[in-house]
C-alpha cells in the first residue's frame, strides 16, 4: 500500500481540504459537467449553478455518510470536501431517510423545470437547502426562491446555509400548503401519491411543476424512513386552461410526511396497479377535477387524472 501523502492525512484529521479554493472550484466545474453528462442533458444554466454552489456547505460536518446502492449507509473515511463531488446521495437525517439527493437525477429534473432569471420558484422539501441554492443561482438576483421544509431542524440548517443567498426565503410547514401565491415553477423533492391542489392551482400561466409521483414501499434494512418503490418524476406545465404532462424519469424519493397529501388505500392500490401495468411514458396531460371518467386516462384519482391525450 502506498503511504498517504502528509498533506492529505492532515486534511483528513482536520476536516479541511487538501485542495486550494481555486482547485475546488475546478473540481466543482468538472463535477457539474459530469453530472449533466450522466443525466443526458446539456443545460448550461444547470451546469453553471452546480459549479457555483459548494456541496459541503449543505451536508453538515465530516465525517459524511453516503448512501450507496450496494451497502446502504456508508461513512466516508475521507473528510476532504473534494470527495463529495460524486454522484451519490449524502445522509441528512438517517432516522427519517432524508438525504441530499443524487446530483445527476437533480440535473435531469432541473433541466426539465428550466428556471429562468427573474422567476419565482417554490422548492418543496428543501432539506438543508443545497438544491435551493442551485435554484437561486439559476433565477439570479432578480428572481426568488421560496424553500419549504417540513422538519424544523432541517429548515434551520437550510436557513443558516442559505444566508448568503439574498433571494431565498425559508419556511417551515407542510409542503402541500404552498405556494401561497402564483409561482413560475414548483420543484418538489419527495414522493407523493397525488399532486397537491396548491401545486396545480398555484402555477402561473406557463408555470412548471416537477414532482415525484409514487407509492410507498416497505422499510428497507439499513435505511431509515420510507421511500417510494414505484414512482416517476412528472413535469406538469400550465397551458391556457389545461395542463400538459409527461414522465421525465423513474424516481424513488423519500415519501411525503405531511397530512395534506393523504389518499385512500383504494386509490393508492390503483396507482400501484397503474405503475405495474406500465405505460406512464404515454402520459400527455393532467386533467384537474375531471367532470367524468375517461378511458383515455392512464390513471384517475378522486379529483385528478393523467391522460394520454395532448392538451388542446
pLDDT score of 15: 52
Out of 97-101, 232-236, 257-261, 283-287, pick the least confident. 257-261
- Model confidence band, residue 257 (pLDDT cutoffs 50, 70, 90): confident
pLDDT score of 290: 85
pLDDT score of 221: 62
Q: The C-alpha cell of 111 is what?
A: 433541466
Mean pLDDT (the chain) is 92
For the stretch 199-223, pLDDT in tens is 999 999 999 999 999 999 887 666 6
Out of 181-190, 238-247, 294-303, pick the least confident. 294-303
For the stretch 268-281, pLDDT in tens is 999 999 999 999 99
pLDDT score of 275: 98
CATH H-level superfamily of 23-307: Vaccinia Virus protein VP39 (3.40.50.150)
pLDDT score of 312: 77
Residue 8: pLDDT above 60?
A: no
Q: Which residues contact 310 (CB under 8 A, 6 or more apart)?
A: 244, 284, 285
* Contact predicate 254/190, CB 8 Å: yes
Strands 304-307 and 285-288: antiparallel
Residue 101: pLDDT above 60?
A: yes
Q: Is the sign of the CA dihedral 258, 259, 263, 265 positive or negative?
A: positive
For the stretch 23-51, pLDDT in tens is 999 999 999 999 999 999 999 999 999 99
For the stretch 172-205, pLDDT in tens is 999 999 999 999 999 999 999 999 999 999 999 9
pLDDT > 90 fraction of the chain, expressed in percent and rounded: 82
Which DSSP category does 55 fall into?
Answer: G
For the stretch 102-141, pLDDT in tens is 999 999 999 999 999 999 999 999 999 999 999 999 999 9
Neighbouring C-alpha atoms within 13 Å toward the C-beta of 74: 13
| Distance, CA of 224 to CA of 26 (rounded, Å) | 34
pLDDT score of 68: 84
Global pTM reads 0.93
Quick one: average pLDDT of 242-256? 96
Quick one: average pLDDT of 240-266? 93
* Every domain of the chain and the residues it spans: 23-307
Amino acid at each position: 500500500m502506498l503511504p498517504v501523502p502528509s498533506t492529505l492525512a492532515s486534511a483528513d484529521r482536520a476536516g479541511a481540504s487538501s485542495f486550494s479554493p481555486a482547485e475546488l472550484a475546478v473540481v466543482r466545474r468538472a463535477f457539474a459537467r459530469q453530472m449533466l453528462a450522466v443525466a443526458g442533458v446539456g443545460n448550461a444554466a444547470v451546469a453553471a449553478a452546480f459549479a457555483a454552489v459548494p456541496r459541503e456547505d449543505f451536508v453538515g460536518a465530516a465525517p459524511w455518510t453516503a448512501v450507496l446502492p450496494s451497502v446502504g449507509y456508508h461513512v466516508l473515511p475521507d473528510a476532504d470536501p473534494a470527495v463529495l463531488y460524486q454522484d451519490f446521495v449524502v445522509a441528512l437525517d438517517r432516522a427519517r431517510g432524508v438525504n441530499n439527493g443524487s446530483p445527476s437525477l437533480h440535473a435531469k429534473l432541473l433541466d426539465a423545470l428550466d428556471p429562468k432569471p427573474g422567476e419565482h420558484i417554490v422548492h418543496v422539501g428543501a432539506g438543508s437547502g443545497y438544491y435551493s441554492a442551485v435554484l437561486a443561482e439559476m433565477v439570479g438576483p432578480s428572481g426568488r426562491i421560496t424553500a419549504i421544509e417540513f422538519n424544523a431542524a432541517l429548515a434551520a440548517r437550510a436557513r443558516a446555509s442559505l444566508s448568503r443567498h439574498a433571494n431565498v426565503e425559508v419556511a417551515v410547514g407542510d409542503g402541500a400548503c404552498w405556494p401561497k401565491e402564483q409561482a413560475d415553477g414548483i420543484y418538489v423533492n419527495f414522493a407523493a401519491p397525488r399532486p397537491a391542489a396548491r401545486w396545480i392551482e398555484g402555477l402561473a400561466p406557463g408555470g412548471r411543476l416537477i414532482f415525484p409521483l409514487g407509492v410507498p414501499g416497505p422499510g428497507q434494512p439499513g435505511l431509515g424512513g420510507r421511500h417510494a418503490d414505484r414512482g416517476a418524476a412528472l413535469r406538469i406545465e400550465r397551458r391556457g386552461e389545461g395542463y400538459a404532462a409527461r414522465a421525465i424519469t423513474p424516481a424513488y424519493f423519500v415519501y411525503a410526511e405531511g397530512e395534506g397529501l393523504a389518499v385512500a388505500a383504494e386509490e393508492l392500490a390503483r396507482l400501484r396497479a397503474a405503475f405495474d401495468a406500465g405505460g406512464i411514458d404515454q402520459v400527455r396531460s393532467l386533467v384537474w377535477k375531471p367532470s367524468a371518467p375517461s378511458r383515455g386516462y392512464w390513471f384517475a384519482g378522486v379529483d385528478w387524472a393523467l391522460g394520454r391525450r395532448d392538451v388542446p
